[in-house]
Structures are given as structure tokens and as C-alpha cells.
Chain A
Amino acid sequence: MTLIEAEDRRQYRATRRRDLAVDLGMALATVLAALTIGFLVMLATGNDPVRAYEVMLTGPLERSFRVGRWLEDATTLTLLGLSVAIPFRARQLSLGAESQLYAGALAAAAVAVFLPLPAVAAVIVPMVAAAMAGAGMGLVPGSMKARLGANEIVATLMLNAIAVRVYDYLVNGPLKEPGSSAVHSKPIQRDSALTPLSDWFGIPMGRANVGLGLMLLTAVALWLLITRTPLGYRIRMTGANPDFAAYGGIKVPRIIEWSFVIGGAVAGLAGAHLVQGVYGRLEPGLAGSLAFEGIVVALLARNNPLVVVVAGLCYSYLRAGGDIMEQQTDVGTEIVVVIQAVIVLLVTAQAPPDLLKRRIARKQVGVR
């Protein structure tokens, strides 16, 4: 290796280290900037921002059941983030997490309510059913895109509309608990419930359950899938340049389908988590707006499964803190929406960190 090459290599490594530091620093700065804007908004609307932030940022950790509330929410949200991160990796803009989640919830409930099973199977079989239902729900737009050239954004959105209506119909009609005035299904069998964390730690943890561990395992599994398997490589190359992937002998349509199927299965698991761990039955609109916030979480994490976990936990923390803030102060959760929106805007903007990196690079050379 020549002297110049050795110097280039050293400099390249230094640049990579520096870029990582800049990225982390920017993430922190982004959150601070968003909080500052929230602070100013609250000040302008005549509220006490210091008190509101104190409640919001420390609230979720103050009582164990609030921690449970946060973790339960984070589990669903992160699973949904993971479910879109995989198709995003293949450059497929799947917005179908909602339909996949409801398909999964229905499948999990169908098994967990109606099918008597021995102890361990009673937990696992509904989850498998949910994953399969979600995967099937993902395969539909995936195939439409891969084989028929349909636009995946339109296909997934339309399928969401259908799935949500079908779900509403079933919960209000055939699956509604007979004799109950409220709209929900019969509760699942006791054996099918995901063990609450309260039972493990002996302190009240709300509805948080072992689904949390399951979510972490899923994230690690997906990270391994993406970085350590041939299928993951094919998904990455299909996302990077489908023409190149096809030239290299990768069956691109099949990989696109796989990315939808895997994402669908994970969204189905999120449905199972809501049914078996959180609500214990089917309820109308049980996903709320989580499916779309999952997309935000995936974007924040740049579709890296492990980072999705971090992003999901942080994002949920803000949601949980916002709820507590609304209860305890005059400030509404709207302010949390503002803060989240600012974070999303800043993170999706790539330019500022690049500018900073360039400036540092210039300064370093100047010093030499």
C-alpha cells in the first residue's frame, strides 16, 4: 500500500467515526430543538412550560403502572415500525400496517376465543395465526405490486380501508359478545393471555406484558435477517437498485413479495399483542393511530430494526408523557403532537447534518 493510500484510509476511518458522532449529536440537538419550540408555544399560550415539561418528561417513570403504560404502548408501536421498515428496505412504500394489524387481531382472537388449546399452545397458536393472517394481508398488495405493477401506496391504502370496515362489521356484528351492551368481542381464554409483567415483578405494571420481550426478539431477528441472511441481502439490493438485483440473478418480484409478507407478519404480531396482551378481546378501533405513527418511527430509525426499537421507545415515552401532562396540567396533548411533528421534520431533513460534516471536514483540512 502506498503512502497516499494509507493516508486516505486513515482519513476515511476518521471521517466515519466523526460522521457517527455528528449523527448522534444531531439526534440529540433535534430533540432539544423540538422541546424548545414546544416550550415557546406553551409560553405563548399562557401556560407554565417548566411545570408541563417536568410532568411530561418525568411523569411516565414516576409510578410503576405508568412505566407499564409506556412499555405496552411502545411494544405495539415498535412492532408496527418494524413491520414497515422491512418493505421500506426493499424500497416498497407499504402503508398497509393497519390492515395487516387488524387481520392479525382477528386471527388471534378467533383462535384465542373459540379454540380450546393446551397451556403453552394457547399462547403461541393465536400468535402464529396472527402472523400468518398479517403475512397474507401483506402478500396481496405485495403481489399486486410485484406481478401486476400496481402502485403499492394505493394498494395498501385501499386495503386498509377495506380491512378496517370488515373488522368494524365483525366486531359490531357476528363477533360481538352476546348480551353485552358495549361493543366488543367475548374475552379470550385465560390461557391465551400474554403474561402481564406485573406477575413477574410483583408490582403493578398496568397492561404491559411479555409481548415486550417478544418485540425485542423480533427486532433482533429482523436485524439478523437484514444483515446476516441471503434474503436480507436480496432485500437490501432490491431496495438499492432493482435493475442491479435482477442483473445479479435475484428474482426481484419474489423479493418484493417477501418484504411485504415479512412486514405483514410483524404487523399481525402487533395485532396479537393488542388482543392477547393489552385488551384481552377485540375492541373497535383498537389500533388507534398507531399504524401511521409506526411509519414515522421507521423513518426516524432509517429502517434499521435495532434503531426502530430505540425510536419506538422514545416516541412512546413522549406519547405517555403527553397523556400525563394533559391530566395534571392545563396543557393538552396537542403540544406533544407539535413536538413530535418538529422532530419528524428535522430528522427527515438530511441537509443540516451533511452541512455540519462538511464544515468540520473543511476546518480539519484548514488546520493542517
Chain B
Amino acid sequence: MMNESWRKDGPAVAARAVTKTYANGVRAVRGVHLEVPPGEIRAVVGENGAGKSTLMKLFYGLEQPSSGEILIGGQPRTLRGPASAIALGVGMVHQNFMLVPSFTIAQNVVLGVEPGRRGLVDPKAAVETTARLAAGAGLAVDPRARVDEVSVGMRQRAEILKALHRRAKVLILDEPTAVLTPQETEDLFAAVRRLRDGGMTVLFISHKLREVREISDRVSVMRAGSLVGTVTTADATERSLASMMVGRDLSLDVDRAPARPTGVTLRVRGLRYEAPVGRSLHGLDFDVAGGEIVGVAGIEGNGQSELAEILAGLRRPTAGTVHVGGIDTAGLDVAGHRRAGVGYVPEDRLRNGAALDGSIADNLVVDRHDRPPLARRGTLHPGAVRAHAERLIEEYAIRTPDPSVPVRALSGGNVQKVIVARELSAGPRLLIASQVTRGVDVGAMRFVYEQLVAARDAGAAVLLISADLTELLALSDRLLVLKDGRPVARFDDTTGLTEKRVGLYMLGVEQHEQDHLTAGLEDLGEAS
């Protein structure tokens, strides 16, 4: 039965010369040797597309290796599916939780291994089991709450309990902190350490190097499908890990000369928007000059998405004016906005930033497919589309074997590079960049930062909307803060500004005077 075939000595999980080639020819893992002893928290880091997720899928039986061996409990195993991995004591918590939303937490935890007799589930025992597991692991959950009514953090704890209920001896956590608040992250780490001290082996997948440094015992670094090396966490710095990940020395700071703003490029006056769903905007006045990056901070859902979509032409404002380079864009459609020189990197790139089943080449031309050099006299030239794609793939370092590869086959960072390549190669007058580095790895992140600064220096006005304050403070020349669809703060100089200080405005503890918010803006009366 389960776990009995574990050997006392030897690694809890291991890979021997494992290679994985997907059916579409993408080789995700190349000859990886990895051993994780029992009772260790092992972080596996790497850029998106480095193969860490694939490697975990191999351990969990979601994928089978093309060659090489997977060892669990010290013995080579053939995992036909997650069921056989679970039977051997491997549990995995995915980025997208695998819970039944209409069930309670207790029901979810015991699902498949329910207590009770003769096919009947004993609901009381289920709740008790869950509560006992939760107390033992230090993972606070309400066993009787329905999953769709609890916080993301509690759902994640339920997922871990689910694995514990199945007597997992190896726990794989795939980017567990991406969805958590700082407080929840701390609690999770405490629980993980406690599990480790109880003998659990934990595989922790992340590309947040700060967290990796905090939680793990040792770190294995992957790059381009291969295992670059394993280091003891105490001996590693964020910088040394980042260099291993990208294969060259990498500074995490952004080099940025002071902005040299030219004339006003984006002028927003009295902008109002009545949202059918979501956040309404209540009177925004601001300018963005060419050659500067203006950051927009705020807790998510305070009107940033709506603002971005209005400026990109995807929504119509209810009142107010928007001018881009002197052109009134408030009444124009998307194509009109693009003609006026608006580029937009959307916050949810999988929803509308790309056609996943379309080729890279097709994805790069959506805004220019009807113009020379791609189209002449009503004819679209596939050769020109391909050449255009090859040029941008080279210029923006998009990792792909061919322009005809569907975007779906790319990693998150590479999808973002495709989008950034498209929007920046259009030479925008105004670039709206929304959550540009969400789910993007360090290498690609740095690349995108450099590109944004380069666009600024080339004279573009950049409106940078982000939930990541570190990013905003590193890149913005000026900063606006949005709360409840209203501007509440404006910092014309970001040097010396701290995350904590901006946070006070984001939370509404402090607020700038109206006079300060609109100081120096011309034509203020025109829209009100």
C-alpha cells in the first residue's frame, strides 16, 4: 500500500537524466538530475519556460518523461497519472486551485478519501478530520465554510490539507505566494516550516527570489530546461541566484537617467465614467508629457483598469476630454486611438493581449495588418508578415524556434515580449502599460523595464499602471495614486519616495489637497 515501499535512506524525490519533449516538439526539460532528501524545503527557481513547472508535473504524474527516471521514496517509478503519484505520497498545490467551489472546505479536503462506511460520507468525521489536520499543521481554516465564500489564502490552505489528508510525504507548491497578501505569506511559511520539521519534503516553485531566500533550505536553479545547479540558501544572494537563472551577471536595479519631458502628450480633463460593473471614475485631471513615465498606484480595483481601457479606446468615457498629441480621442474607436499613436499593453494578456491559437507572426500584426509593408493594394503578404515577425523576434529576444509557433506554446514572459514588441514597434506617442511584469520572470522583467525606459527616452509618454509598488518607484518619474476612482495623491518627484508612504495614500489614510492634484494643469475648466 501507500508509502510502505519507501526506502528509509535515499532521496524523497529524484530525477535521473530526465528529458521531456512535448508532442509539439518543444523540449521543456533536458537531462535533469535532481535529488531532494527527506525533510528539506527545496526551492526550484528559473525563468518562465525554464522547465520548472514541467519537472513538477513529472513528479506529480501529470506528464511522463520522454526518457530518464523519476524516483519517489528512493525507488524508480512509472507514474501513469496523479493518482499513482498521490498513492506514493506526492501532493501538489497548483496555481489554479482544484477545489469544488460549492462544497465546504471539509468536503473538499476529504473528497475521494471520505470517512464513513458503506458508501456514505460521515460529514461530522470529515469536519473533525479537517480540523485536526488544520490544527496539526498550523493552517487555519473554517471546515464548514463553502469554498466560494472564503479567501484565496484559505482555499490554498485547504489544498494543502487535502494533500495532508492523503498522507503526502512530498508537497509540491507551485508559485504559492502569487495570490497571497504579505501577512498570509508569512503564515504559509510558518506552516511549511512546521511541516518540514515533521519530516515533510517540500518543493517550492517560485521566481520571487526574496521569498526563496526566506523559506528554502537549498535552491535548485533551472535555465532553458536544464538544471544549472543547486546551492545552499545561506550561501546564495538574490543577485547570485538571478545570475544563475539568466546565465549572465544581472543587476536588479533599473538604470534610468532623469526624465527630459517635452510637451504635454496626454491631457485628461474632467474624465468621468459610469461603470455598469466595476469601478466608476469620478473626475480625473492629469497630464503626461512626452519623455516621462507617470506611474499610477492604487490597490487593485480602484479604477486603474477602467482608466487604461478608456485611454486605449476599449471603453467610452461618460464625460470629460482626452487628448493625445492634440487629437481628441474621447469619441474615437480603438483603431482611431491606435492611429492617434496610443499603444496599450493590457493587464490580462491572455484575455485580450494575444490570440493564443494564432501564430506569433499573426499576433504581431493585429494593428498593422492592413498597411504597407505588410499589405499593399488590398493584399496581405505572408512573406512580409513572417519577415516582420522574424525581425521583432530577434530585436525583442522572443524565445521561439519559429514565427509560426502558436502563442499558446510560449511561456508567460515570452508572451509578454510578443505584446511589448508589437506595441513598442508601432512607435507609440502614448504607451499605456498595465501590469507589464505580472507573471513575468526576472530576465524578461528586466528586458521590459529597459524597453519602457528606452521608449521614454525616445520621446514617448508612458503611463505605467501597476500593483507592484517596487516596480512603480523604480520606473516612474512622477506618480499618481488612485482610490475609489478618484486621484488622491500626486508626486512630481519620486526620488526618496518610499513604498510605505505611498501605501498610506493607497489606503486612504492621507490625501493631497485638490489644488495640489491639479497644480499647473492648463484648460482645467474646459470639460467641467
Residues of chain A whose beta carbon lies under 8 Å from any beta carbon of chain B: 4-5, 8-9, 11-16, 227-230, 232-234, 236-237, 240-241, 243-251, 354, 357-358, 361-362, 364-366, 368
Contact = CB atoms under 8 A, between A and B. Distances in A.
Contacts of B365: 233
A8 B24 CA distance: 11
B21 A247 contact: no
19 contacts: A9-B401, A11-B21, A12-B25, A12-B405, A227-B382, A229-B379, A230-B378, A233-B369, A234-B369, A237-B362, A241-B352, A241-B358, A244-B358, A247-B352, A249-B338, A250-B366, A251-B335, A361-B22, A362-B21
A111 to B, nearest CB: 29
Interface in B1-53: 19, 21-27
Nearest to A230: B370
Contact of A249 (B24, B224, B366): B366
Given A247-B344, A249-B334, A361-B22, 15 more contacts: A12-B25, A229-B379, A230-B375, A232-B380, A240-B358, A241-B354, A246-B334, A247-B352, A248-B334, A249-B313, A249-B338, A250-B335, A361-B23, A362-B21, A365-B67
Given A13-B402, A229-B378, A230-B370, A249 B333 contact: yes
A244 B401 contact: no
Contacts of A13: 401-402
A228 B379 contact: yes
Contacts of B362: 233, 236-237, 240
A326 B312 CA distance: 64
Interface residues of B, number: 48
Contact of A244 (B335, B366, B369): B366
**Residue from B25, B314, B337, B363 having most chain A Cβ neighbours under 10 A:** B25
B357 interface: yes
A40 B355 CA distance: 45
B355 A241 contact: yes
Given A237-B366, A248-B366, A249-B367, A365 B21 contact: yes
Interface string B211-243: 000000000000010000000000000000000
B23 A354 contact: yes
Given A237-B366, A241-B354, A11 B338 contact: no
Contacts of B378: 229-230
A240 B350 CA distance: 12
Q: Is the interface of B mostly helix, strand, loop or mixed?
A: loop
5 closest A-B pairs by beta carbon, nearest first, are A15-B25, A248-B366, A249-B335, A12-B401, A240-B355
Contact of B401 (A11, A230, A358): A11
A245 B369 contact: no
Given A236-B358, A247-B346, A248-B366, A14 B25 contact: yes
A248 B367 contact: yes
B66 A237 contact: no
B356 interface: yes
**Residue from A241, A246, A354, A368 having most chain B Cβ neighbours under 10 A:** A241
B353 interface: yes
Given A248-B334, A249-B338, A8 B366 contact: no
B114 to A, nearest CB: 32
A267 B301 CA distance: 48
B100 to A, nearest CB: 26
A3 to B, nearest CB: 11
Contact of B25 (A228, A234, A246, A361): A361
Contacts of B335: 249-251
Nearest to A234: B369
Interface in B62-91: 64, 66-67
Interface in B376-397: 378-382
Given A228-B382, A229-B380, A361 B314 contact: no
Contacts of A357: 23
B351 interface: yes
Nearest to A367: B67
B21 A244 contact: no
A8 B27 contact: yes
Contacts of A361: 21-23, 25, 66
A353 to B, nearest CB: 10
Contacts of B351: 243
A234 B366 CA distance: 8
A194 B424 CA distance: 54
A212 to B, nearest CB: 27
Contacts of B313: 249
Contacts of A228: 379-382
B66 to A, nearest CB: 4
Contacts of B24: 15
A16 B404 CA distance: 10
A267 to B, nearest CB: 24
A14 B25 CA distance: 8
